[in-house]
């Protein structure tokens, strides 16, 4: 499975051709909030957000459109063959199908998404085509694939040998329970219970938000969802208002973690609406997380959900249920910040 730190190092070497500063630090600074008024800015979830941000910045930093920036940015983890939670090397569902979810949204309200899409390594590109070339917002399953092929995408075999091996390992016990991606949970134990190899988390999503110097926003979110999910399961990431929501009047939000919890609370829409009514990005993320915890306090102890928000003035905030959620921030001043989000549970328990 992806070790996000190793991946980060490798990706940074790979992106050095962009002639952007390289990072060497881990997310040791816990900070939910980063002040705004910095001009253009791009933020995204998890450590792999750093190289993704750099690809987005290559567009945004030159005065490009936030929509183009986020699409380019999230394609980085989608292409990464060491990343088993996003894009072409994502782990399959319990029947061995790699099914991908993605959404893209412009701050003017245009949006497109695909869910349970098979055989296409860059679902974000198909989501954008749904937005631009259809009167619809969301295409799913076979219909989404048919549309992609009509649009000129090539059918690919996505189940990599490594993913297939991990799936066969999982099949030995075939137990399924979503495991939170956090430092708090005893992964080794929970992952063994799941029959998963490697002792690592089974899901991560990239959610990215960008704002330009004029306050125009866009966002993108893409994932292979929960490894070993039921065939046909769709998470929050392709659901506009759940995994992603962007409004030029206010700002944007995106989420990661157990998608069912985010869908139940219309999480990203909630964060944006809280900002609309005066909460800071940080306060809005905290309130959205607290609502999830309040509804199911016992379940929440073993769940991870993280929100990331970006206001139109560039201020951003983040909050998660469990410790371990990281997010990357890139702007004119600093193009390589990786921060640790504050969380409800700050201490390690098993
Ligand atoms: C999902 N939210 O499919 C995604 C998975 C994820 O960190 O974000 N993992 O539910």
At 191-208, the pLDDT tens digits run 333 333 333 444 589 999
Supply the pLDDT for residue 28: 61
Q: Does residue 203 line the site of ligand 1, with CB under 6 A?
A: yes
Give the mean model confidence (pLDDT) for residues 90-116.
Answer: 97
| Residue 254 falls in the annotated catalytic set | no
Supply the pLDDT for residue 187: 36
Q: Does residue 226 line the site of ligand 1, with CB under 6 A?
A: yes
Give the mean model confidence (pLDDT) for residues 80-91.
Answer: 91
- Is residue 1's pLDDT more than 60? no
In a domain, 76, yes or no: yes
Query: Among 96-105, 112-121, 156-165, 294-303, which stretch is predicted with the lowest mean pLDDT?
Result: 294-303
Q: Which positions ≥6 away from 211 have C-beta within 8 Å? A: 40, 41, 42, 66, 217, 251, 252, 310, 312, 314
Residue with tokens 């549309």: 147
In a domain, 114, yes or no: yes
In a domain, 26, yes or no: no
Dist. CA 258 → ligand 1 center (Å): 5
Q: Which of 205, 222, 256, 265 is catalytic?
A: 205
- Is residue 58's pLDDT more than 80? yes
Q: Quick one: residue 198, left, alpha or beta (phi over 0 = left, psi -120 to 50 = alpha)? A: left
| DSSP conformation letters of 136-153 | -SEEEHHHHHHHHHHTTP
Supply the pLDDT for residue 34: 87
Q: Does residue 259 line the site of ligand 1, with CB under 6 A?
A: yes
Instruction: Give nearest CA residue, ligand 1 atom 8.
Output: 256
Instruction: Give nearest CA residue, ligand 1 atom 10.
Output: 259
Range of the domain at 66: 38-248+326-345
- Is residue 22's pLDDT more than 80? no
In a domain, 55, yes or no: yes
Supply the pLDDT for residue 188: 31
320 three-class SS? strand
Q: Does residue 66 line the site of ligand 1, with CB under 6 A?
A: no
The number of domains in the chain is: 1
pLDDT in tens, 214-249: 999 999 999 999 999 999 999 999 999 999 999 999
pLDDT in tens, 246-262: 999 999 999 999 999 99
Supply the pLDDT for residue 346: 79
Supply the pLDDT for residue 201: 47
Greater pLDDT, 2 or 168: 168
Greater pLDDT, 311 or 199: 311
Are 43 and 33 in contact by the 8 Å Cβ rule? The answer is: no
Q: Does residue 182 line the site of ligand 1, with CB under 6 A?
A: no
Sign of CA dihedral 188, 189, 190, 196: positive
Supply the pLDDT for residue 335: 81
User: Considering the chain, what is the average pLDDT of its residues?
Assistant: 85
Q: CA 71, CA 244: separation in Å to the nearest integer?
A: 13
Ligand 1 nearest-atom number relative to CA 260:
10
Supply the pLDDT for residue 349: 41
Q: Does residue 283 line the site of ligand 1, with CB under 6 A?
A: no
Greater pLDDT, 346 or 78: 78
The token duo for 41 is 């800015």
Ligand 1 nearest-atom number relative to CA 258:
10
Supply the pLDDT for residue 183: 46
- Is residue 112's pLDDT more than 90? yes
pTM of the model: 0.87
In a domain, 253, yes or no: no
In a domain, 164, yes or no: yes
Query: Among 57-66, 90-99, 332-341, which stretch is predicted with the lowest mean pLDDT?
Result: 332-341
Ligand 1 nearest-atom number relative to CA 234:
3
Supply the pLDDT for residue 347: 57
Q: How confident is the model at residue 8 (pLDDT cuts 50, 70, 90)?
A: very low
In a domain, 6, yes or no: no
CA 275 to chain centre: 20
Query: Among 7-21, 87-101, 114-128, which stretch is predicted with the lowest mean pLDDT?
Result: 7-21
In a domain, 8, yes or no: no
């Amino acid at each position: 499975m992806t070790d996000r730190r190793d991946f980060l190092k490798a990706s940074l070497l790979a992106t050095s051709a962009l002639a952007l500063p390289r990072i060497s630090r881990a997310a040791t600074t816990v900070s939910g909030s980063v002040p705004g008024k910095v001009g253009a800015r791009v933020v995204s979830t998890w450590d792999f957000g750093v190289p993704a941000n750099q690809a987005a910045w290559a567009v945004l930093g030159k005065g490009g459109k936030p929509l183009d920036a986020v699409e380019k940015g999230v394609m980085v983890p989608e292409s990464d063959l060491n990343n088993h939670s996003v894009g072409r090397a994502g782990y399959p569902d319990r029947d061995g199908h790699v099914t991908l979810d993605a959404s893209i949204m412009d701050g003017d309200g245009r949006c497109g998404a695909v869910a349970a899409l098979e055989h296409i390594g860059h679902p974000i590109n198909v989501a954008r085509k749904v937005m631009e070339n259809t009167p619809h917002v969301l295409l799913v399953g076979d219909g989404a694939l048919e549309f992609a092929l009509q649009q000129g995408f090539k059918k690919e075999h996505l189940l990599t040998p490594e993913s297939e091996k991990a799936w066969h390992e999982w099949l030995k016990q075939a137990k399924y329970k979503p495991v939170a991606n956090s430092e708090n949970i005893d992964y080794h134990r929970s992952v063994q219970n799941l029959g998963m190899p490697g002792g690592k988390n089974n899901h991560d999503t990239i959610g990215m938000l960008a704002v330009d110097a004029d306050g125009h926003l866009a966002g993108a979110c893409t994932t292979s969802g929960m490894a070993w999910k039921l065939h046909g399961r769709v998470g929050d990431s392709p659901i506009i208002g759940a995994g992603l929501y962007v409004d030029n009047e206010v700002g944007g939000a995106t989420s990661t973690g157990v998608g069912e919890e985010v869908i139940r609370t219309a999480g990203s829409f909630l964060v944006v609406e809280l900002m609309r009514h005066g909460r800071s990005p940080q306060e809005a993320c905290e309130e959205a997380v607290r609502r999830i915890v309040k509804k199911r306090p016992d379940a929440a102890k073993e769940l991870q959900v993280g929100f990331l928000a970006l206001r139109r003035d560039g201020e951003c905030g983040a909050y998660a249920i469990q410790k371990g959620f990281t997010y990357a921030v890139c702007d004119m001043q600093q193009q390589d910040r990786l921060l640790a989000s504050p969380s409800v549970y700050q201490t390690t328990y098993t």
